[in-house]
């Protein structure tokens, strides 16, 4: 990153860890673009940023990540600004106890937690490449260790639906995507990508999805995302999984090269994105 204030998009920034991440990044001098589904909620977070920093907040991005057309429109709205993007924090996520599908027929947890950030990242790659050192931060979860990606059943039509299983697999998808995208970007790329577990925080996902309280605060939950977004020590770190702002081992299934490659290509097909070529 240059000496100028970094420009950062935080998805799902209207409550919970995403909101705290956006606020803390702004407190540290970043220009934060808040994403949410509701104009009212995004405006409330923008107002909070302005109050805490004494600076005007950046215009928000509004999109329902269950809709790929809205993801494309969101990316186009940012690209129209004509600015480099320093950091993309793919934070938004859902947990659904019952099976639901998007208008495109995709299981909603998989669509919002994986396909949306997959597409958004690819659409914004050129803007990230224009930054001095673009960073992609994918918020996964320790639940990824319980994931079971099945390439032949990504739409969950061949097995009984499990809300926790769908969530865990979507978090495994975040790590698989991180590993393969990093490999395809290559070691010489100015754009890095890393994944993280934010901790166990009493967010809407935890309370409504898991029916439990977490021991970590919102500040704890935002800490690793903020670290990966801004800390100079990780400028050239790529393809890693972090817990409490430190590298940690991810599940072997989430880092398996053959699965990561096949899953990446299938994801690109599902969202209509051009896959990045294999890195030399």
3-class SS at 194? strand
For residue 227 the two structure tokens come to 């670290």
CB 243 within 8 A of CB 197: yes
Measured CA to CA in angstroms, residue 109 lies from 105, 154, 191, 208, 216 at distances of: 12, 11, 27, 14, 24
CB atoms within 10 A of CB 8: 27
Within 10 A of 82 (CB to CB), how many other CB atoms are there?
Answer: 8
Q: What is the CA radius of gyration of the chain?
A: 17
Could you tell me if 60 and 81 are in contact, meaning their C-beta atoms sit under 8 angstroms apart?
no
Tokens of 31: 């220009």
In this structure, how many other beta carbons lie within 10 angstroms of the beta carbon of residue 141? 26
| 237 sits in which H/E element | none
Distance in angstroms (rounded) separating the CA atoms of residues 133 and 33 = 18
Helix (H) or strand (E) holding 230: helix 218-230
CB neighbours (10 Å) of residue 242?
Answer: 22
Structure-token pair, residue 260: 């990561």
167 is catalytic: yes
User: Of 164, 167, 241, 264, which one is the catalytic site residue?
Assistant: 167
Determine the Cα–Cα distance for residues 124 and 84; give it in Å rounded to an integer: 9
Which amino acids are annotated catalytic? 167
């Amino acid at each position: 990153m240059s000496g100028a204030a970094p420009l950062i998009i935080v998805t799902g920034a209207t409550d919970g860890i995403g909101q705290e991440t956006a606020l803390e990044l702004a407190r540290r001098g970043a220009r934060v673009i808040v994403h949410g589904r509701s104009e009212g909620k995004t405006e409330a977070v923008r107002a909070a940023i302005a109050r805490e920093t004494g600076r005007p907040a950046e215009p928000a991005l509004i999109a329902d990540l269950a809709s790929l057309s809205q993801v494309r429109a969101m990316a186009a709205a940012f690209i129209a600004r004509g600015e480099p993007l320093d950091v993309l924090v793919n934070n938004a996520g859902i947990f659904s106890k019952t099976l639901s599908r998007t208008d495109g027929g995709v299981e909603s947890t998989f669509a919002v937690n994986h396909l949306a950030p997959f597409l958004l990242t690819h659409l914004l790659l050129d803007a990230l490449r224009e930054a001095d050192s673009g960073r992609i931060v994918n918020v996964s979860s320790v639940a990824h260790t319980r994931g079971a990606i099945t390439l032949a059943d990504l739409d969950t039509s061949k097995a009984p639906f499990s809300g926790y299983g769908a969530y865990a697999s979507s978090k495994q998808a975040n790590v698989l995507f991180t590993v393969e995208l990093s490999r395809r970007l290559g070691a010489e790329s100015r754009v890095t990508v890393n994944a993280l577990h934010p901790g166990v925080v009493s967010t809407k996902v935890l309370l409504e999805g898991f029916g439990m309280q977490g021991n970590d605060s919102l500040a704890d939950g935002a800490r690793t995302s903020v670290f990966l977004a801004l800390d100079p020590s990780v400028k050239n770190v790529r393809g890693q999984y972090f817990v409490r702002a430190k590298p940690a081992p991810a599940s072997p299934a989430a880092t398996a090269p053959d699965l990561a490659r096949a899953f990446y290509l299938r994801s690109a097909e599902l969202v209509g994105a051009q896959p990045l070529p294999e890195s030399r």
